[in-house]
Structures are given as structure tokens and as C-alpha cells.
């Protein structure tokens, strides 16, 4: 049999390796931009707040409003979001509802990372922390007017 010189074999392996790397990078990038269905338990007041923000800032949907908040959260001081205790329902009856929304894969990963890093009990609670911050302390113009994600719209 005819043997290819080692440098040709190395070049072929490098090209194949780069191709695989490119494909996995492309898939990861695509996953970031793929909307994932999710159902999160949030307070009824959070849904009312989101509906109010959708109207005030002319946001196309509650899903888009939540995605804007998650994008904002990725740049925000995480201690403000996840360390400071805020509770809109302390001493009152909790009234949780399921919020069915679509968020990007990268945003779901961010919520999972924050849940782990800040030892938050559930993914739902992680999202509620962001909603509590937005409702109680956040700069609403900063959160809902500033466009952070050109590809996420």
C-alpha cells in the first residue's frame, strides 16, 4: 500500500478536527439562539408586573419582557439580584401561577448557573429573584428600553 507522508496525514486530521470544532461551535451558537419552552412558577403579582411593562414599553409579549430581564441580569450585579432578600409576599398569602414562556438556550443556562452559584432552591425561584428585583428595585427604563440582544428579537 501507498503511505501518505506524515505531514499530509497531520494536515488532514487538523482540517477534520477544525471542521468538528466549527460544527460543535455552530451548534452551541445555534442553541443559544434557539427558543426553549419553559414553565416557571412565579407570583401572580409578577405576571401583573410583566403585563404592565409589556404595555408601558410596547414589548411584543411577556416572553420578550422576561428575555429582556434575563439579558439585563447577565450584565447586572449578581449580588443585587440573588443575595439581597426581597419578598413581596412576606406575611401575605403566596399566590403562585405557572408562567409558560420561551427563553433562549443560553438564558436557561444562565438561570441554571445562577441557581448553582447562589444556591437558590429551584430554577423557578431563580427567575422569581430576577422578577422581584425588576419589580422592586430595578431601573425599568434600563431593563426594558435598552436593547441588549440584536439576535434575540
Q: For residues 94-98, give the mean pLDDT.
A: 90
What confidence score (pLDDT) does residue 84 get? Answer: 83
Other Cβ atoms closer than 10 A to 120 = 17
Reported confidence tier of residue 92, pLDDT bands at 50, 70, 90 = low
pLDDT tens per residue, range 38-63? 999 999 999 999 999 999 999 999 99
What confidence score (pLDDT) does residue 153 get? Answer: 41
Calpha distance 20→153 (Å, rounded): 29
Calpha distance 96→40 (Å, rounded): 10
What confidence score (pLDDT) does residue 25 get? Answer: 57
CA distances in angstroms from 50 to 5, 19, 62, 92, listed in the order given: 64, 43, 6, 21
Q: 24 pLDDT exceeds 60?
A: no
Please answer whether residues 129 and 120 qualify as being in contact, where contact means their C-beta atoms are separated by less than 8 angstroms. yes
3-class DSSP assignment, residue 36: strand
Q: Select from 82, 69, 81, 75 the least CA-distant residue to 143.
A: 69
Q: 104 pLDDT exceeds 70?
A: yes
Q: Which three three-digit cell numbers place residue 60? A: 411584543
What confidence score (pLDDT) does residue 134 get? Answer: 96
Q: For residues 28-34, give the mean pLDDT.
A: 70
Calpha distance 145→137 (Å, rounded): 16
Q: For residues 126-151, give the mean pLDDT.
A: 89
Q: Which of 17-21, 26-30, 81-85 has the highest mean pLDDT?
A: 81-85
Amino acid at each position: 500500500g501507498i503511505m501518505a507522508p506524515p505531514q499530509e496525514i497531520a494536515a488532514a486530521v487538523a482540517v477534520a478536527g477544525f471542521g468538528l470544532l466549527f460544527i460543535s461551535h455552530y451548534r452551541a451558537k445555534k442553541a443559544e439562539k434557539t427558543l426553549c419552552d419553559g414553565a416557571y412558577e412565579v407570583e401572580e403579582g409578577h405576571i401583573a408586573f410583566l403585563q404592565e411593562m409589556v404595555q408601558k414599553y410596547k414589548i411584543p409579549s411577556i416572553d420578550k419582557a422576561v428575555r429582556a430581564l434575563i439579558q439585563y441580569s447577565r450584565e447586572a450585579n449578581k449580588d443585587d439580584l440573588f443575595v439581597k432578600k426581597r419578598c413581596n409576599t412576606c406575611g401575605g398569602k403566596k399566590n403562585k401561577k405557572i408562567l409558560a414562556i420561551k427563553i433562549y438556550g443560553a438564558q436557561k443556562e444562565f438561570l441554571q448557573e445562577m441557581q448553582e452559584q447562589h444556591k437558590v432552591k429551584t430554577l423557578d425561584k431563580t427567575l422569581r429573584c430576577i422578577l422581584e428585583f425588576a419589580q422592586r428595585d430595578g431601573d425599568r427604563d434600563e431593563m426594558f428600553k435598552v436593547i441588549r440582544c440584536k439576535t434575540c428579537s
